[in-house]
Structure 1
Amino acid sequence: MIKIYHNPRCSKSREGLNILAESGQDFQIVKYLDLPMEKEEIKEVLSLLGISAEDLIRKNEKVWKENYKDKKLSEDELLEAMQEHPKLIERPIVIRGEKAVIGRPSDKIKDLF
């Protein structure tokens, strides 16, 4: 089963959703702003992506600039920030089995098929 961490207000996330819909494959939509991920789930996603917590953070978000920008944060503190402020998480994230991609650009999602 394919899973997409989706933000309906994000154009890239909507593009990713369209790619999945056009693929004809079954997928699950996770609206992670409505139901924030737990730290363990974020860790699992990071592991599948093969990146650090810092690489998953949207640093242009207002909440990042106002609260975290010039601070030296540990991996755990970054995970807590993403759990508390899910808007900080890059999107969309698409997972299929043991593979995951951040759908920026959207065509990266097609690499999972």
Structure 2
Amino acid sequence: MAVTLWHNPRCSKSRAALALLEDKGLAVDIRLYLQDAPDAEALREMLAALELPASALLRKDGAALKDRPEAEIIAAMVETPALIERPVVRIGERAVIGRPTEAIEDLL
């Protein structure tokens, strides 16, 4: 089972997500999304797996973008990946934002 984690090691929720996945014995493909920013296609694929609009993946810092068109929000997240909420966990074709961490349990 392929498990991908969009991870920021400085974030306690992201570290908790990684610990949970590792405790379950899962091999995790970690994407340090702040250093290896997803492109627009990767964001659209993740949004499809999340079954959410781009605005739902924005951190609070990006609240001013919430009412912008989808393409503008995605472009802003490509340009400034710190706008992306974390952690994001994808297993197969499904994904969740790991806030709260229990959301990851539901995915498993």
TM-score by length of structure 1 reads 0.88
What secondary structure, in the 3-state scheme, does the structure 1 residue paired with 2:95 have?
strand
- Provide Cα deviations, 1:19-52, integer angstroms capped at 9, x if missing partner: 0110101111000001100000000000000110
Aligned: 1:54 with 2:66: no
* Closer/same/farther in 2, CA of residues 49 and 58 from structure 1, 3 Å limit: same
Cα distance in 2 between the residues matched to 1:21 and 1:71:
33
Q: After TM superposition, list the pairs within 5 Å mapping 1:1-113 onto structure 2.
A: 1-59=2-60, 61=61, 64=62, 69=64, 72-113=67-108
Give structure 1 regions of 4+ aligned residues with deviation exceeding 3 angstroms: none
Tell me, in whole angstroms, the C-alpha distance in 2 between the residues paired with 1:71 and 1:10.
23
Pick the structure with greater CA Rg: 1
Structure 2 vs 1, CA of residues 80 and 90 (structure 1 numbering), >3 Å: closer, same or farther?
same
For 1:58 and 1:13, the matched residues in 2 are separated by 14
Q: CA RMSD in A?
A: 1.5
Which ranges of structure 1 fall in alignment gaps of 5 or more residues? Answer: none
- Percent of pairs with identical residues: 44
If the length of structure 2 is used for normalisation, what is the TM-score?
A: 0.92
How many residues end up aligned between the 2 structures?
107
